[in-house]
């Protein structure tokens, strides 16, 4: 047993078979400060200047934390045998911190080829107990020291928000009714080895593209189902989530509509008020419009085809991008070919007014003449349909 600095290991090059690191998670826990009384009693103190941590009182910002972590990973890379592994445990609620871990691991020479998984802690911190924005599980990352010393390069994401939306959508289609922390963990796990993780706003993404029922999230177009005991998420058994009053109302309304198929809106409301008598924290009209089809004053369950259309997350995302562009809120300039694709999209989804607006800003010189002619024809059809 040796007590060493992670940045200065007392081993020869290429001599270690396996390394396991559980480093400080940025500024989450200030270990030396918490241990000062215990260390004073032992009369053996941590060398604070060597502590790899983010701490403004020690003059260590996130950049310095990253530099010290890089020095530690370069050192473990030096002592590991080629083809052997480093396992790192990490957890952080800010996704941009994972970008730092990606960068320094690959800069040190490692490749994350061993797959990633989550583990639950035996006990939870105060933040984990009180906030769903705190990461609830630990990410286990396996880094390999490749033979030949080749470095891995992770490509920059073309659109990190869309990547997060796609991962979340796939996850919720497979495991409906997941909580925010479970979604965050899955997003980090799925993106870590494929793209550079930039900062993203998961709460905004969930609010704009997915449905919340109580504390659970669902993909659009998904019929709510009762939980059948514990559900398996990947390789982990998750704790069952108690049913929420809002979810129970949706389930009972679904049962009612399965029996009567299609009912007047007033009859559905009366069933809710007189029979269910379950208090919910949201507007009943909004709940019905999000979960059922309202047609000429009558309510029914969505058909399979309607569910599939509602589940097309690409359509939802494109509509949002279009709205941002037309309102002047999009933080980039779309290309001519991209605007042509949007015009065709608007025609397909009966967004005729938006299609005309897009054609009005299309620069004829930015695309081939035949593409411009096609866009012009579609715009003319949009003009007729709009009337």
32-68 pLDDT per residue, tens: 667 777 777 877 767 767 777 787 877 888 888 889 9
Residue 235 has a pLDDT of 39
CATH class for the region spanning 160-237 = mainly alpha
Q: Give how far the C-alpha of residue 338 lies from the chain's centroid of Cα atoms, to the nearest Å.
A: 25
d(CA 75, CA 79): 7
Q: 178: how many CB neighbours lie within 10 A of its CB? A: 24
Residue 237 has a pLDDT of 38
Q: pLDDT by residue (tens digit) across 189-209?
A: 899 888 888 889 999 999 999
d(CA 128, CA 287): 30
CATH of domain 16-144: 3.40.50.150
**90, 92, 199, 204 from 95: Cα distances, Å:** 12, 7, 6, 14
- What is the side-by-side order of every strand in the sheet holding 293-295? 262-264, 298-300, 293-295
Mean pLDDT of the chain: 84
Give every residue of the chain whose pLDDT is below 70, as ranges: 1-3, 27-29, 31-33, 45, 48, 114, 121-136, 149-152, 227-243, 387
Residue 234 has a pLDDT of 43
Q: Sketch the domain layout of the chain as residue ranges.
A: 16-144, 160-237, 245-303, 312-386
């Amino acid at each position: 047993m040796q007590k060493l600095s992670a940045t200065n290991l007392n081993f020869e090059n290429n001599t270690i078979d396996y390394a396991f690191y559980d480093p400080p998670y940025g500024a989450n826990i200030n270990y030396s400060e918490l241990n000062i009384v215990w260390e004073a009693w032992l009369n053996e103190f941590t060398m604070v200047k060597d502590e790899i941590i983010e701490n403004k009182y020690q003059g260590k910002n996130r950049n310095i934390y990253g530099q010290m972590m890089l020095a530690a990973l370069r050192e473990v890379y030096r002592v590991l045998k080629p083809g052997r592994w480093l396992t790192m445990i990490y957890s952080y609620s800010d996704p941009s911190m994972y970008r730092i871990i990606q960068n320094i691991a690959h800069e040190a020479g490692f490749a994350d080829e061993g797959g990633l998984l989550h583990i639950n802690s035996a006990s939870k911190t105060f933040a984990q107990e009180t906030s769903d924005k705190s990461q609830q599980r630990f990410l286990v990352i396996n880094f390999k020291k490749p033979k030949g010393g080749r470095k891995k390069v992770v490509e920059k994401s073309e659109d990190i928000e869309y990547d997060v939306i796609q991962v979340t959508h796939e996850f919720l289609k497979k495991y409906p009714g997941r909580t925010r922390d479970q979604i965050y963990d899955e997003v980090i796990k799925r993106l870590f080895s494929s793209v550079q993780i930039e900062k993203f706003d998961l709460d905004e993404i969930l609010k704009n593209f997915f449905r919340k029922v109580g504390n659970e999230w669902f993909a659009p177009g998904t019929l709510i189902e009762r939980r059948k005991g514990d559900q398996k998420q990947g390789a982990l058994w998750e704790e069952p989530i108690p049913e929420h009053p809002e979810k129970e109302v949706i389930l009972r309304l679904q049962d009612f509509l399965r029996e009567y198929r299609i009912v007047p809106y007033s009859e559905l409301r009366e069933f809710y008020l007189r029979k269910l008598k379950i208090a919910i924290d949201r507007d009943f009209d909004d709940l019905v419009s999000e979960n059922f089809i309202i047609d000429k004053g009558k309510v029914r369950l969505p058909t399979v085809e309607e569910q599939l259309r509602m589940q097309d997350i690409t359509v939802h995302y494109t509509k949002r991008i279009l709205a941002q562009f037309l309102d002047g809120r999009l933080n980039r300039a779309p290309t001519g070919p991209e605007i042509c694709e949007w015009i065709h999209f608007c025609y397909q989804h009966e967004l005729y007014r938006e299609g005309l607006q897009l054609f009005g800003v299309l620069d004829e010189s930015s695309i081939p003449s035949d593409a411009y002619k096609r866009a012009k024809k579609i715009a003319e059809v949009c003009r007729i349909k709009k009337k």
